[in-house]
Every structure is written in structure tokens, then in C-alpha cells.
Amino acid sequence: MQKIVKILDIGAIFLPALLFFMYVESFMGIIIGALNPLAALEFMKNATADNTIIHSAANPFEDFVIKKEESLPVNRGQSTGYNPNYTVVEEFFVSEVSDIVLKKDACYVKNLTHHSENEVRNLILAPVSFSIEKNSKEPQILIYHTHATESYMPTADMPYDPGYSWRTTDKNSNMVAVGKVMADTLNKLGYNTVQDTTLHDYPSYNGSYDLSRETVEKWLEKYPSIKIVLDIHRDAVERGGAVINPVTRINGTKYAQVMIISGCDNGYMNMPDYTENLKFATNLQNTIAKDWPGLVRPVLFDYRHYNQDMSTGSLLVEIGTHGSTLGQAKNSRQAFAVSLAAMLDNI
């Protein structure tokens, strides 16, 4: 039995190394993969793909309304299924302090790194390292979508369709539609924002992060003025065969809950400024939590790359899940942008 365990342990180290070697075709690949199989697997996950073309979206200020209201979550512990054909269940994801969830002011951070509580706490709500020029002539914020074809339930009472995959190339229904409202809102509030509408995950999902990285590089080269880079996604949560929709209520209106992801470097990910991203993430989360109580889940601070080495204001934002309706996501995306602008007003 001990021999079997030892063989499994060896395989867990050298199998990623062998696969990594196949990608980089060098002896160094085996060494790096053996030392850090997690980094090797992350590298393979983001394998290279063909180039893509940048398409910039227009920003007409349509259907624009700013209205902050008191927020009340759905009752904790109670779930409401609204589409039995899809087994979609609405839940309020509560934020609570625990061994891994830290709180400072109204901000919660889920720390899944090896950094101590004190180390992370010292970064929460620390001043951000960049400043934003309001009403600038050149863009200050870039919104893009690595997984642009991610989509939502169109309505709560959507008829059952066994072929529905929660993905679409229709830019009026996928993450491009979400980013458009964010960009429109930020522009209306005086923060010059551009949105890239490239479908980086179509026709192939593989290599989408490499493609979106090329897109961001082109934007940053064209506009060095860009300080904030937001990759807008939607989450996917399932439990016991049910699709979970994290939702909160604001004056009777349902909003899809939002989660900000701030990546941490494990020593092999080339993210020297990841702490600056965390400062930005926590200041933003704290502002949203005060403006729209119950809207945000804790910031996820974990060993994730997600191209967050490209600026000190790079974050991945999950707006709802595949159980959320498009309408619930629309409510949340505008609230997010309003609070982002409010935060920027004070830095």
C-alpha cells in the first residue's frame, strides 16, 4: 500500500511536468513543472491560440438612470426555485467573518492564499497606487470580456430548452451587453471608458485568455492613459444538481450578486504588483457594499492569474451566475459602475 501511495505522489508531481514539457519543448519545462505542477497546469490551461481583431463598441447613453436605494437581501436560509424545468434556485450569499473570510469596514475578503491574516488585513482598504483623471480626453478605463459568450437565463419563466447552454454570440444577450451598460454609465459619470467587444472564447474556448491578453496589450499600447482594466464575466454555481442564482433585493427589485476576483502570485506567475490590485479591489468592494448592501460577495483573493499583471488596476468581475436572469444582471452592472465612479471620485 505504501508503494502505491508513493507511486501516486510521484505521478502527481511528474505528470504535470511531462505535459508542460510537451508544450514548451525544453528540458527547463520538466524542471519548472516538477517544482510547481500548479503553475504548469495553469500554463497549459491558457495555451496559445490564433490572433483576433479588436472591435470597439460605441457608447450611446441610453436608458440611463442613477438611483441608489436601500438594499435588503432575500431571507437568509430560505431559497426560492423559480424555474423547475431548469432547477434554478435563488439564494442570498451572505458575507460572514470566518477562518478565511476577513472583514474591514464593510469589505469582506476571502483569503485562499498562504498570506497571514495580518498581511492581508494590512492590504485591505490601503490607498490605491494610481489616480484617475475625470473628464479626460483619453480613456482611463478598459472593459473587456475573456469569456464574452457567457450568458444568462433570459427570463425567470424561460421555457425549457434542452439545447440551451448559457452561451450565445448575440452581443445583446451575453457579457458584451453587461459591459456596455457599465461603459455607458462610467462615461456618463465623467470617466472615459472604452469597451472591447471581441468574442475571445468563440469559436474556440481554449486559449481565450491568451487572446484577451493580446487585446488588452493593444489597447494599453494605443492608450497608455488606461489605468483600470476590468474583465467582466458571469459565474457558474451548482449544488446538488440545481443551478444556484445568488440574488439580493433592492426595494423589491432583484439584483444578481457580484464577486470581484483579485489574483495572488504563487511565486511563478509573474504578477509582481498583485497587492496593488487587491487594494483596488477592496476599496471598490467596500464602496459597493455601502452603496448597495447585499450586492457584493466577498472579494476572492486566490492564486489566479487572469492577466492581472497588465496594470495595477486589473480585476476580474463576476456578475451573477448562469442561473441569474439577464434583467437581474442589468440591474447589478449599472450599480457596480455607479459605485466605481463614486470610489474614483475620492482617490
For 128-182, write each residue's pLDDT tens digit.
999 999 999 999 999 999 999 999 987 776 765 666 678 899 999 999 999 999 9
The pLDDT score that the predictor gives to residue 8 is 45
Mind giving me the DSSP string for 173-195? TBHHHHHHHHHHHHHHTT--EEE
The pLDDT score that the predictor gives to residue 156 is 73
Residues lower than pLDDT 50 in the chain: 2-8, 10, 17-33, 39-40, 42-70, 75-78
H-helix segments, 208-325: 208-222, 274-291
Write out the CATH class of domain 71-344: alpha beta
The pLDDT score that the predictor gives to residue 270 is 94
Three cell numbers written together for 324: 441569474
Largest separation between any pair of C-alpha atoms in the chain? 68
Tell me the domain boundaries of the chain: 2-45, 71-344
How far is 22 from 123, CA to CA, in rounded Å? 39
Q: Is the peptide bond before 203 cis (omega within 30 degrees of 0)?
A: yes
3-state helix vs strand vs coil in the chain, percent to 5: 35, 20, 45
The pLDDT score that the predictor gives to residue 49 is 34
The pLDDT score that the predictor gives to residue 241 is 83
302 with 264: CB under 8 angstroms? Answer: yes
C-alpha distance from residue 9 to each of 4, 40, 112 (Å): 9, 17, 23
Q: pTM for this structure?
A: 0.78
* CB hemisphere CA count around 302 (13 angstroms): 14
The pLDDT score that the predictor gives to residue 161 is 64
153 with 207: CB under 8 angstroms? Answer: no
